[in-house]
């Protein structure tokens, strides 16, 4: 099992190595600088190992910036013309993540803090929080992590909007005033049914758990029975498919169930519940398949489990960012 790299412990040799990396990456190194670095690396195996680790950490910090801000690191981090002679690894790594955080103040990514639309919701949950509300007689909604819904008035409908996140809906209404949930560009309607709706990054998926659910988008309609799911986005409404309803609704029982899911997809899901952010920096690791069940109240063990299962290297950065490589 690979020993995790913890970047918070002091290491003067690694600080020196990071100083060399930053000097070469952000300045205008001369041949004399390159020769001096070579001599420094050849002092001992520990010096060479420190340099390799520093190069890896610097590269991973750049990946973290791009992941957090959704932009190229060069567009986010403005490199100083004359970097200090000595930069600690805390400053290098923390500075990169802090730069990303400063950039995304204008464009907050999903999961870090609520958007303006989410703040205007009637009901909202934070990261890792779940909540059940009765939005109308005979209509209850269970909100999953980071979910926002709003009540919308309509004369002949019980209408709510799923602004963002995931919700399980139970409705026992009559035909006189059906439930209509707006999500993205589409409409989800039901009378006496249970269904799960998920709206993330412009992609909406609707799963019927019992009863009949109708989904409409752009003049097209899908009628779902038990254990059927349909997805849609601005590009259109996909054909409905059968799914394992137990996996879809597992979050209501405090579980996440994955069957042959790539690790990158699993991490995206775990990030919705867990504080901080996990980022995979190894392309091969992203493709590794996961089969397992995870308890929502024990996701603090997830990183260690990935380390044990796949031999992943762990690097912890400021702000709760964890890199898996």
Domain boundaries, the chain: 5-103, 116-246, 254-324
Among 65-69, 133-137, 314-318, name the most confident range: 133-137
What's the mean pLDDT in 109-133?
73
| Confidence class for position 19, pLDDT limits 50, 70, 90 | confident
CB 250 within 8 A of CB 256: yes
More confident residue, 50 or 209: 209
| Confidence class for position 119, pLDDT limits 50, 70, 90 | low
Q: Mean pLDDT across the chain, nearest whole number? A: 81
More confident residue, 204 or 72: 204
Q: How many CB atoms lie within 10 A of CB 95?
A: 17
In this prediction, residue 59 carries a pLDDT of 62
The torsion defined by the Cα of 190, 128, 98 and 100, in degrees rounded to 10, comes to -20
pTM of the model: 0.69
What's the mean pLDDT in 61-70?
56
Residue pLDDT, tens place only, 74-103: 333 434 444 444 444 444 555 554 444 443
Q: Tell me, which fold does domain 254-324 have in CATH?
A: Phage tail protein beta-alpha-beta fold (3.55.50)
Per this entry, what is the length of the chain? 325
- Token match 């520990």: residue? 46
Q: Which of 46-50, 218-222, 239-243 has the lowest average pLDDT?
A: 46-50
Task: Say if residue 105's pLDDT is above 50.
Answer: no
| Confidence class for position 34, pLDDT limits 50, 70, 90 | confident
Strand partners, 242: 228
In this prediction, residue 153 carries a pLDDT of 83
Q: Distances in Å between the alpha carbon of 100 and those of 37, 216, 277? A: 29, 39, 13
Instruction: Give the CATH number of domain 116-246.
Output: 2.60.120.1440
CA–CA distance, 196 with 166 (Å, rounded to integer): 7
Residue pLDDT, tens place only, 286-317: 999 999 999 999 999 999 999 999 999 998 88
């Amino acid at each position: 099992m690979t020993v995790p790299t913890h970047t918070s412990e002091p290491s003067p040799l690694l600080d020196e190595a990071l100083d060399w990396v930053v000097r070469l990456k952000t300045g205008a190194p001369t041949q004399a600088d390159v020769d001096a670095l070579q001599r420094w690396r050849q002092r001992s195996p520990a010096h060479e190992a420190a340099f390799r680790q520093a190069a890896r950490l610097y590269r991973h910090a750049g990946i973290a910036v791009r992941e957090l801000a959704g932009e190229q690191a060069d567009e986010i981090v403005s490199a100083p013309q004359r970097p200090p002679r000595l930069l600690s690894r805390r400053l290098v790594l923390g500075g990169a993540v802090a730069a990303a955080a400063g950039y995304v103040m204008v464009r907050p990514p999903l999961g870090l803090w609520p958007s303006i639309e989410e703040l205007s919701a009637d009901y909202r949950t934070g990261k890792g929080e779940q909540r059940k509300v009765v939005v109308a007689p005979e209509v209850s909604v269970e909100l999953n992590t980071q979910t926002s819904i709003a009540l919308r008035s309509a004369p002949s409908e019980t209408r709510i909007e799923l602004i963002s996140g995931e919700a399980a809906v139970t409705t026992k209404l009559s035909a006189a005033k059906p439930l209509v949930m707006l999500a993205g560009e589409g409409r989800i309607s039901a009378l006496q049914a249970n269904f799960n709706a998920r709206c993330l990054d412009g992609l909406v998926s609707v799963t019927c758990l019992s009863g009949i659910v109708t989904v409409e988008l752009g003049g097209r309609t899908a009628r779902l029975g038990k254990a059927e799911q349909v997805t849609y986005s601005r590009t259109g409404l996909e054909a409905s498919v059968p799914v394992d309803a137990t996996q879809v609704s597992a979050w209501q029982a405090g579980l996440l169930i994955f069957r042959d899911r790539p690790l990158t997809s699993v991490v995206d899901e775990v990030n919705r519940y867990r504080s901080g952010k996990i980022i995979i920096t190894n392309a091969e690791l992203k493709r590794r398949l996961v089969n397992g069940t995870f308890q929502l109240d024990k996701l603090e063990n997830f990183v260690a489990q990935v380390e044990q299962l796949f031999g992943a290297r762990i690097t912890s950065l400021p702000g709760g960012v964890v890199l898996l490589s």
